Amino acid sequence: MSDGRTAEIMVAEARKAFWVMVGFLALIWAVQVANWASGYSLSYSFGIRPWDVERLPGIVSAPLLHWSWAHIEGNSGPLFIFGFLAAYRGVRRFLGVTGLIAVASGLGSWFTADAATVGAGASGLVFGYFGYVLVRGAFDRHLIDIVIGLVMGLCFAYQFTGLLPAEGIGWQAHVFGFAGGILGGYLFRDRGARSVDKAQGDTPPGGSRPALLKEIEDLGL
């Protein structure tokens, strides 16, 4: 496939990723309006209640629900940034990663959180996408993604504090979401890139810098 065609495909996927995240944010904000109008009864009714088998479907609905305007505002920025970076390599793969993160975060919370609590919020997805972006480049062997992961890790290092136990914060969703993102990086890795590397002798002449410049050019940057 020509470099021009590769760049066109990547730009098209990035455009799709942008609109997918815009649509997802629009959805959770629309749900928030209804949730707020009902006195946050939706969060209580459709959030995750640990060890309650009848509330297992909350694993799917909980990421769409929040407990306050401050809660959804705090999640929206990181959700858009990490979600877009997780999706720009391919929306179909992103949907699979999202499903894995939601299940890992939700089940982890269901099994380990206090049975008297109800969990809701997109922060499990935020930490899952964060973990996925951090490791994807290493698994895919895409140098530009390794750089993105390192930059995001440095810029958002404070996010790691959300993985520590804290009163009043559903840290279990954070931890298991983060783990789900790392697992997603492995399970949804680009196996084709590794095969091509082996066929070409792994490291191209001139080291990694030319490869990195080529990936930047492919992205149209």
Q: Residue-wise over 111-122: b if at least 16 C-beta within 10 A, else e?
A: eebeeeebbbbb
- How many separate domains does the chain show? 1
Provide the residue range defining the domain that includes 15.
Answer: 3-218
Q: For position 195, what pLDDT does the model report? A: 47
Q: For position 99, what pLDDT does the model report? A: 97
Regions of the chain with pLDDT less than 50? 195-208, 219-221
Q: For position 211, what pLDDT does the model report? A: 52
Q: For position 205, what pLDDT does the model report? A: 46
For residue 124, give the H/E element and its range: helix 123-140
Q: For position 197, what pLDDT does the model report? A: 47
CATH number, domain at 114? Answer: 1.20.1540.10
Q: For position 218, what pLDDT does the model report? A: 53
Alpha-carbon distance 150 to 99, whole Å? Answer: 24
Q: For position 102, what pLDDT does the model report? A: 97
- pTM of the predicted model as reported, rounded to 2 decimal places: 0.84
